[in-house]
Chain A
């Protein structure tokens, strides 16, 4: 019995075919992972199922009955619910009010608040979704907001739940909790589709997976009969390496980058709270941490954008704490910013102009303040080839490139200028698997050339795959530091969320009870 059957769905946009006669079926009561790279057509397909977009061709059957779903309210009536990547919640309302919104209980002509609270409590008990119905949604952490979204779906008696990249914004512990909830929902007979590009999660959670690539269905597999390597190959169209990078072959004890007792205050609140950090030549230090624990400020301090209030930044032993951003660049601090569109690239500049940004003072690009246009063109052509930036030419505006190719522009710019230290912040965020692999290779190559690399990433997998050493940042301080094999995933998760090892966290939790 199929809960969802999509037959020959085709959706064309102005100059692309997002879905090319896709047939996709989901069994009743299974967890089905819809896998694919960015732009593969996953979200479009699910928007069609949810009635947010209309297919040009094809038909939809829900529980065996042909349906025309021309807007989300039809989908909701059919028992379909979608949890979007960006939550559709009203911050100023309570959890209970958000859950019942649009389907409010009434008492006479009044809104039945007590009834709403009761309904939410009941649902939350049934499925193990812990929330306080009376709390304001705006005060909740991201993981809990997601629970509210799921409760909303359950309250509308959804049987088919679509989740769009549900783990993108969650910490490892929150992910574990979400998976527990999803398994419970499955036990209760719900059908679940998760849109994702994360292979580990698919392997961990799903019963079956369907892979889309460039708008086509590449195939559906049973998880028990597949491997991450096979799924990745289906997604990208070629073999992909998953092994941890070999540890540095040439570690040396030269401390190239060091932060000593770094304090930085924003509005009088210390966001860096006496942070100590050192990165050696020929080594990648992975800095793990939940976003907002001082990573951004640490990067700003090291790149000169916001100097430390107290403490020092040393580059190969030399104090560079108070240097300007351009002096930092000249000293050899290569910066791959965490938000490439905001900080890394000028979207309306050509690839060529972006490839020299920050380095345009160098004598290879200018003389007497006159740009050496021919040199720059030649240089940009070379880099475009070397870093395989897919584009028409070096004159293409970077805003027209895919995320992966934009990131290659940023990375190519830094790596081509022989930096001493590389600050790589979220280097693969929003980038396809193929490009991720390439970027990882480049970083490892730089490490093997003896550069010191500080890798700041929200992806634990990335940290664990690339780093020689791992440090965890929590509330503006380093709370754990060691070789990459010193911690497992759960240990790291505990440091990231509580700033303590699991053992202590457990004790405290017991003491709470």
Chain B
């Protein structure tokens, strides 16, 4: 409960700080925030738009959180998302002759497996060569984006000037919940993923072991847990989920793979996970907040002179304010140690 209060205070702090900056820059903070609020929740369309923007963020936030729980920093959600999106599109375009629902399920599965393997490379390299997963996943992002770019520009390019694949059949597209808005049944898949991960962490031996490794690797090893296998498993899960973000965007929103379709969902996932403190269910709320900011930003642009960059700034402020209590705790701990141990150099 205490943690929730700190979290809410952090959010409040971030918005207050944002207001101050707006005021200093000569804008009306109240006007800006109300435009944001109306843009995000003011109408049925606004809400649908917010939910649509939140959907990929739930996936990527969850992906980052799952890896975090195992002590792994997966910066590679973006690359895994692109790989998953491409896999889903290819299944959609080429694995024809199946009933629509089955084909959609197959596309999601293919995306997940490709994403899992892609992230698994980083897990494997960490275990085998002690290569740090941050470096490896960043590198894999470049490779994934370039690779999918090549595929969509050459072998699988559809007719026309846009670098995209052929469209997937209508039968396998995810159903729109509030047409013509972009929110689809994909959001249910996202929420279900969060629930499954929550259950996995708290009810299964795998989840228990991954958590133990994330919190104290030495104790986990002493307790007979095979660190290597579980690190790879955590990266598999993380990559699978990140890839679903891409697949759901392809199957629900775009209907085909198009180069550069992600505005950085993978990276925003890091912020979503941080705000959620890596809690699988907290990710849903956290993604909704970031989705609302994105959803509201268009109205902010229409209604006020405030640049939409302000939304990016708010996102950054949220992260900073969420991190502050943690930093204070660390500093206090260091001071305490400093007092009792003294400086020995």
Distance A488 CA – B205 CA, assembled complex (angstroms): 49
Q: Does A349 contact B (CB under 8 A)?
A: yes
Q: Does A229 contact B (CB under 8 A)?
A: no
Knowing A335-B222, A346-B215 are in contact, say whether A360-B341 is a contact too (CB < 8 A).
no
Q: Does B97 contact A (CB under 8 A)?
A: no
> Is B344 in contact with A349, judged by CB distance below 8 angstroms?
no
Q: Does B212 contact A (CB under 8 A)?
A: yes
> Is B344 in contact with A305, judged by CB distance below 8 angstroms?
no
Knowing A324-B224, A366-B205 are in contact, say whether A342-B341 is a contact too (CB < 8 A).
no
Contacts of B221 in A (CB 8 A): 305, 325
Mask for B149-172, Cβ within 8 A of A = 1, else 0?
Answer: 000000000000000000000000
Distance A326 CA – B342 CA, assembled complex (angstroms): 39
The stretch among A192-200, A267-275, A369-377 that forms the contact with chain B is A369-377
> Is B344 in contact with A357, judged by CB distance below 8 angstroms?
no
Q: Which of B211-269 contact A (CB under 8 A)?
A: 211-212, 215-216, 218-226
Q: Which of B20-50 contact A (CB under 8 A)?
A: none
Q: Does B2 contact A (CB under 8 A)?
A: no
Contacts of B212 in A (CB 8 A): 346, 349, 353, 357
Q: Does B142 contact A (CB under 8 A)?
A: no
Contacts of B225 in A (CB 8 A): 326
> Separation in Å of the A255 CB from the closest CB of chain B?
24
> Is B341 in contact with A86, judged by CB distance below 8 angstroms?
yes
The stretch among A87-95, A126-134, A288-296, A378-386 that forms the contact with chain B is A87-95
> Is B204 in contact with A357, judged by CB distance below 8 angstroms?
no
Q: Which of A63-114 contact B (CB under 8 A)?
A: 84, 86-92
Q: Does A248 contact B (CB under 8 A)?
A: no
Distance A324 CA – B229 CA, assembled complex (angstroms): 13
> Is B226 in contact with A357, judged by CB distance below 8 angstroms?
no
> Is B204 in contact with A371, judged by CB distance below 8 angstroms?
yes
Contacts of B219 in A (CB 8 A): 342-346, 357
B203 in complex: contacting residue of A335, A346, A373, CB < 8 Å: A373
A347 in complex: contacting residue of B202, B211, B216, B339, CB < 8 Å: B216
> Separation in Å of the B345 CB from the closest CB of chain A?
6
Q: Which of B298-345 contact A (CB under 8 A)?
A: 339-345
Q: Does A328 contact B (CB under 8 A)?
A: yes
Contacts of A370 in B (CB 8 A): 203-205
Mask for B191-205, Cβ within 8 A of A = 1, else 0?
Answer: 000000000001111
Distance A407 CA – B225 CA, assembled complex (angstroms): 21
Distance A373 CA – B209 CA, assembled complex (angstroms): 15
Knowing A86-B341, A88-B342, A371-B205 are in contact, say whether A303-B220 is a contact too (CB < 8 A).
no
Chain A to chain B contacts (Cβ below 8 Å), 7 pairs: A305-B221, A305-B222, A325-B224, A326-B226, A360-B205, A369-B205, A371-B205
Residue positions of B touching A, CB distance < 8 A: 202-206, 208-209, 211-212, 215-216, 218-226, 339-345
**Top 10 A-B pairs ranked by shortest CB distance?**
A326-B224, A358-B223, A357-B223, A325-B224, A346-B216, A343-B222, A369-B205, A88-B342, A348-B215, A346-B215
